[in-house]
A and B are shown apart, each in its own frame.
Chain A
C-alpha cells in the first residue's frame, strides 16, 4: 500500500499577535521610563549593600564632583510639577539683590540637571543659550565660610518646601574635606538626616566566617 504522503509545508507561524503585544509593552515601557539627565560632572557613586531606592519626591541633591565642586538640584522627578525651583530662585534673588525676570525663572525651572553656579554669575548663566558657555559657568557653589551660598540655598529651599530631604551624591574619589564641609553646612541648618546615593553591591557574610 502506498503511504499517504503529507504535503511538506513550511511551518509558518502567524506573528501578528506577538507583534501586537510587543508593541503594547514597548509603548508602555517607553512612556514610563524617565531618561536620566546628564549631570554637569560625571560621578561614580560608591557601592553599598543598601537596597533602599531613592525617593521620587522631596529631594534636594548635592552633587560633589571629583574636583571638589558642589552642585545642587531641587525638583527631581515628580516635584517638577510643584514648581519649587522658581520660588527658591526668587528667594535667593532677594537675598543677593538680583532681580530675575520671567524668562530667567523659566530657564531655571527647565534646566534639566544639577546647577553649580555662584549667584554672581547666575543671571549670565540663565541668559546664555550656548551650552558651552553654560558649562564654563558651572564652577560650583561657593561653600567657604566667608561666602557660604550653599547654606543660603539650603535655607531657602527648606523655606519653600519644608519636606526636602538631603541627598548627597559624591564620587568615591572625592576628597573627604569638601564632603565634610557640605555635611557641616547641612548640620548648621539643622539637617541631621542624610541620604547617601550609592550603587547596589551584594555582600553576604555568614556566622561561621567569624567564629573561627
Chain B
C-alpha cells in the first residue's frame, strides 16, 4: 500500500513540532500484569488437591481357608462413627456368648466428638508411649541433632510404628447414618495421633444396637440386623 504523505504547510507563523520521544505510561499495564500473575500463581499453587492414603486389609472371601487375624482384646479399641458427628468408643471386644445371650450383654459406649478434647485425647492417652517416641524423634530431626533427609525420617517413623507393641489397635466402624466427612476425620485423627495399627471394618449388628441404645434411636429393622 502506498503511503500518502500529506505535507502540512504552516500558514503564516511556523509551528515547530515539539520533539518528544513517544513515551507510553506503562504503569497501568504493570499493575494489571501484576494482578494476573498473582492470580495465576495462587490458583496453580492451591488447585492441587491433597490425598490421604488408606490401605484396607484384604477381604476374606473364603472363611474356611482363611481366618481373621487374632488380636489381643486388651489392646483393642473400637471406634464407632455415630449419627450427628458423634463418636462412640469401647475397649476390648464383645464375646459371642455375650451378644447372643437374651437379652444381649453389651458393654457401655463412651461418647465423644471430633474436638481436640474428644477422641484425640482418648487416642493420645492410649498411644502415649509411641507418640512420645515419634515426637522426640521429629524434634531431634527438626533441631538438627539427627542429620537425615525428610524421606528417610519418614521411613524411620514408619519403622517406629511397625516396631511398636504397646499402642492400641483401633478398629473403626461406621453406623449407617454416619457421613463420609466423619470417616475422613477419624482417619485423620489416626495420622495426627500416630496410631500404628488401625483398620476399617464393617459394623456388627450388636454394635448397631449399642449405638442405638447410646444415641437413643429406636432401631429400624434392616437386612444387616437380621444377619
Q: Which chain A residues have a beta carbon within 8 Å of chain B's beta carbons?
A: 12, 15-16, 18-19, 22-23, 25-26, 29-30, 32-34, 36, 45-55, 64, 167, 169-177, 179-180, 183, 187-188, 190, 192-200, 203, 205-207, 209-210
On whether A210 and B40 interact (CB within 8 A), knowing A52-B53, A203-B192, the answer reads: no
Q: Which partner residue on chain B sits nearest A22 by CB separation?
A: B33
Are B41 and A29 touching (Cβ within 8 A)? yes
Q: Is the interface of A mostly helix, strand, loop or mixed?
A: mixed
Assess the B49–A207 pair: CB atoms within 8 A: no
The reply to whether A176 and B30 contact each other, CB–CB distance below 8 Å, is no
- Is B178 interfacial (CB 8 A cutoff)? yes
Question: Contact between A176 and B53 (Cβ–Cβ < 8 Å)?
Answer: no
Cα–Cα distance between A165 and B176 once the two chains are bound (Å): 27
Per the 8 Å Cβ criterion, residues 128-178 of B in contact with A are 128, 131-132, 135, 174, 176-178
Please give me the 5 A-B residue pairs with the lowest Cβ-Cβ distance, nearest first: A172-B181, A15-B26, A29-B40, A22-B33, A46-B184
Contacts of B174 in A (CB 8 A): 176, 180
- The answer for the CA separation of A173 and B37 in the assembled complex, in Å, is 35
Of A54, A192, A197, which contacts B55 at CB under 8 A?
A192
Chain A CB within 8 A of B182 CB: yes
Min CB–CB distance A171 → chain B (angstroms): 7
Residues of chain B in range 164-209 having any CB-CB distance to chain A below 8 Å? 174, 176-185, 187-188, 191-192, 200, 202
User: Which B residue sits closest to A177, measured CB to CB?
Assistant: B176
A14 to B, closest residue via Cβ: B26
Interface residues of B, Cβ cutoff 8 Å to A: 23, 26-27, 29-30, 33-34, 36-37, 40-41, 43-44, 47-59, 81, 116, 120-121, 124-125, 128, 131-132, 135, 174, 176-185, 187-188, 191-192, 200, 202
Q: What's the minimum C-beta distance from A57 to chain B, rounded to whole angstroms?
A: 13
Given contacts A64-B180, A173-B180, A205-B120, contact A194 B49 (CB under 8 A): no
Task: Find out whether the CB atom of B132 lies under 8 angstroms from the CB atom of A199.
Answer: no
B50 touches A51 (CB 8 A): yes
For the complex, give the distance between the alpha carbons of A12 and B26 in Å. Answer: 11
In the complex, A24 Cα to B177 Cα: how many Å? Answer: 53
Q: Which residues of B contact A47 (CB under 8 A)?
A: 184, 188
Residue from the list A198, A200, A210 in contact with B125, Cβ < 8 A? A210
